[in-house]
Structure formats: structure tokens, C-alpha cells
Structure 1
Amino acid sequence: MSLPKELEVLQNFFVKQPNPLLGVETIQVLLFREILDFTVLRTEDTRELNTVITPLSTENDENVQRVAFLGSKQKAVESRQMERLLRTAANEADYPIEECYLKDYLCLECPRCALYGGTNASASKTTNANIKHRVAYSTAFSLAAFEQIQQTTTFNGISDLTVQTGQTLNERISVKPATIFPSIVTLHSVTWKELILMMKIILSSHKYGAESRIGGDVRNTVVGITGGWEEFITPLEFTMELNSEKEKSLSAENVTKILNKYKLLLANQKKSVILSPEQVDDMLKFISGFEIDKKFLTKAYEDVRAYRDVQENSKAKKK
């Protein structure tokens, strides 16, 4: 399969096939994770939201408390979404694949394992070497302050017999709808096929948080894409720039302006590209309409097998 013309703008930052020895080719996908239902972003049994103190903006050192959307929470949802997407697409295309699921049985032979990494600590029957991750997530920080976006909901028990409210059962502290978390997903040394898979996963993941069975709806909107020999920007810098009094805009044009500012800080400026808002839109339209058919799956899985062959040959040479 040849590189689609819609992805040629990033052609210098793709690899021909995944390799255990990573290069510096880096693609960053900037997005807004917009909360559309009450969402619980916590990790502790205290039921408190994860929060952190940061400067208000790049121009204002005033401290502000923000809700933290941990990278591990973003990764967990999107990694599982890729596993489901691959399994469903393989079933529809009648393409046989190895059983693979988190966290007890990683096949270490599929595009999900090749991107997100895996170890032989799982119950996988393979005895091959571990796989490094090539997808990186960082903590995303709420655009608004904690006080503006948190809400506590009280739950009461209702008797089936009397249909009356009993004592309070619990409290749920959550993030309000319409809260925005500027976020970044960073891809290292990926193929164009892997970019398509990752973009489909980002766009199709909608449930996040600790209690997604009764909330946690999120809409991921891609607002910027960069290619380079290094990362352009971090989520905290992204959030602080968007909070700048001069740049207080969530438009794609403003995101591009912010990225051009950070391009000046790169060590390899001539080895970098920032997609325009129009190029981002065209790429998203192409990827959304791209079909994961048997031909695509065959090539994607062949790439992973080639990756594993390189590992095995390297291990054999060392013996």
C-alpha cells in the first residue's frame, strides 16, 4: 500500500515499518477533550478529583487550581478502544487474528501492542521480547479553574416498597459538562497506517473517567497536528497559552499561532512542519472516510510481524 496523498504533508515523519530502534520522527496531535456529561477524574478512594496548582497563563504567574486529566486515564480508554476496533474490523473482514486483551493476555503481535507496548508478564503464550510503547500521553489540565468546573452530587436510596427517599448513600464529585481539557497525543516513529489507526481511535473514544457507566461522555476535537524531530509543546504549555489574555481563543487559527511561537524554540526547526487548519480538516475528512478493510489489516499486521522478526534476529545475533 502506498502513502495516500492526503498524508503526504507528514511523509518525512513516517517510518516505512515499525522498528525496535526508534528514530526521532515525532507527530503530535493537539486536541480539545470537551466534557459532555458529569465526569469523575480521580484515582484515589477519597473520591476527590485529581487537582494541581499551576500558573494561570504564560503571562500571569498567579496560581490557579486546575483539574488534572491524567495521561494514564486517557491512554487506558484509547488503548482498549483500539483493541475493540481491530477485533471488530477483523471480524467484518474475515481476517484471522490472535486473541488479545488488557491486561492479562497481550498477544504482542497486533498493531495495538506494537503502538502501546507490552511485556511478557501477561499470560500471552509468546516468548518474544517486550515491545516499547510509541504512543505518549501527558496529563491534561482543565482550561478553567477547579472552583468553576467541579460539582458535588448527592445520591439517595429509594425504597422499592414505600417509594420514599431514605438516607444519603454517597456523594459524587465530578467535572461539569462543557469543561475543556487541552490535550496532546504524541506518536514516535509511526507508519502512516498507524497514524490512521490512532486518529480513528482518538475521534471514536467517548467514555472516560472512573464512573463511565453513568457519565463520562467526552468529545475529542483535533485542532492541530505537527511533525518534527522532537515535540513542539506540552499540554501544560498549551493550556497556559490558551489562558493568555492576548490569545484567549479556542480557534484552530489561534492554535496554529501558538505552535508557530513554539516552533522557534525547537532544536531542529528546519525538520518540522505545522499543518494549517485547512490541512488538518482535509486529513480528518480523509481518515474518517478511510475503511479498515482486509487489505489494510493484512499490511498492518505484516508490519508488526516484521517488527518482531527484527527483534528475534537481533536476539539471535547476541547469542
Structure 2
Amino acid sequence: AGLAAAAGGAAAAVRLRMGAATAPQHADDAETLMRNANLAFDEARRLSGSGFVFYGPQLAATMTTRRATADGIDILAALNERRIVPARQAIVDAVTRQPAFHEALLRLRLPDGGEAGAARLVPAAEKAGLIEAVDHRMLELIAARMMGEPGLRIALNISPRTLASRAWLGNLAAQLGACPGVAERLIIEITETAAVEDPGATRASLDAMKALGVFIAIDDFGAGHTSFRHLRHFPIDLLKIDGAFVQNLARSSDDRFFVRTLVDLAQHLGIATVAEWVEDEDTARLLTQWGVDYLQGEHIAPVTAWPEPAGLAVERARERARSA
């Protein structure tokens, strides 16, 4: 039954739905507590009338199962069945055109034999609340591959949610400890938006990662609102210029001015630059003239599969055989 309220002389029916979680029973930090309360509220919204839903273990299991599938992708099944795999794309020295490092790109092997990329998988994982698990899995996979290819440098994207997670730094430290020689060849990429959401927390996280020996890059730079002050105080090794500006250089004087300004800014700060989405040779030459350090794009180097090292592939086959 709804509550009756008088509004301009007419009665209006009001439904009240509430969700709640309590600390420390359901969480010991504000972020998790709010997430659990929101889960309870999401369930309350499914009620036909007014109602109150209190977070609890049964609700957590129900919501996890329901939210695990998004955009037709069962994220939990993909994780459990090891169908999330990395591909890679070379990023080359702008002058020599020789590969300087690679970016690890997220791929999902679908049950029907097809493949989905990050554009489909990341939103689905975020909607399912499992993007942190996906990022942790990607770290595990590329660390194992880097151990099999000494000298290979890899850049790995992590989501804003992962960057803010308490578990990320501990897992990163554990992976690097188990894989000697990987830290100094690993570049962690964060988005510009994530960098400015909470500058203080971002600086603390970046400092902690730098202390582990990894390099830090800001991805899609120019798309957000990083101020000069923030950029100057973040321990950044690499700026990746948003490809939305790079791909239009031949047609847009505004984009040419903007990209050149970003390159000049990075040079002033002593930060190396990568231009993304380089799609033709004229653009590549222009960027090189301006002093961009590295180029990335299909014109420069296509995305390629990244097979497992032989020993790891054999172990995976044994695991599948044991579980069959």
C-alpha cells in the first residue's frame, strides 16, 4: 500500500523503496558499504510496491549471479573458463619505427568460437561489478607471458575502479614478487579521468606503484581535464595522446594546435609521449616532426594474438584434462 499525500488538493500515491547495509557487519570501508547498500536498493526497486531490502549473504549471492551476465556475456564463466586472454599491439619509436614496447589488449574468446574486444567486454564487466577481477586476471596473464619473453616491455590498462581498490596494490606486489624482472618492464596505464577524480588518492596509488618499480602512463590524454598542476605533481613517465585528436590532424587546424600544445607541454615536463590512432603516413611524419616519441595505430603495427608460452600452454591443457 502506498502513502497518501495531499498535493494541490489532490491525493497522490507514493511508493517508498529502501535498501540498506550496516557496518561493520557488511563492510569495513565506505566504498564497499555504499556498494552493498546500492545492491539492496537495486533489489528493492524490483518490488511491485513499497518495500525495504536489507543486504545479506543470500542477496549478495543472488545479485552476483544476476549481474554476472551483461550484454550477453557471462563474465564469471569467462573468468573461470580462462577465456579472457591478452592480445598485443606494438608501439614504435617515432624516428626508427622499431618496436619500443607493446600494449596488452583485452580479448574474450566466445563459446561460439568468435572473439570480443575491450569495447564490448569492459562495459559488460563494469556492469557486472567484475572489472577488478578482469584487471587482476590480465595482470596475471601478461606477467606470465613477460616471464617467457625476457626484454619485452608491456603496457597494461587498469580501470578507475581497480585503481581505487584496496586489493590492487597488494595483488600487483604479489605478482611482481613472483615474477622477478617484470616490474621494470611493466607500464601501468590509467585514464586521465581516473587521475583527476581524486587527485590525492591517485597520487598515493601512483607513488605506491612506482615504489614497486613499474612505470606509469596516462591514457587518452586530452580527453579529460587534467590541470597542469596535477600533471606536474603526478609521477608520470608517459602521456598517450587521445587518438580522437590524432586521427583528424590532416583535416582540423584546431586538433593540430591542440596536439602540438600537448607535445610541447610534455616535453617541458620531461615526459615521453605516444600518439594513438595513427592511421596514415602523413600523420606519422607530422607527429615525428613535432617531437612525439612513440607512435601507435593500425598503420604503424596491427593488433596481433599473443599465444601462451609453451610450458604454460601445456599446464593449461593438463588442467582442462583433469577437470573434464
* TM-score interval for Structure 1 and Structure 2 normalised by the shorter chain: under 0.3
Give TM-score, length-normalised by structure 1: 0.25
Looking at CA atoms only, which structure, 1 or 2, has the larger radius of gyration? 2
Q: Compare relative contact order (CA 8 Å, sep 6+) and give the higher one, 1 or 2.
A: 1
Flag the structure with higher helix content. 2
Give TM-score, length-normalised by structure 2: 0.25
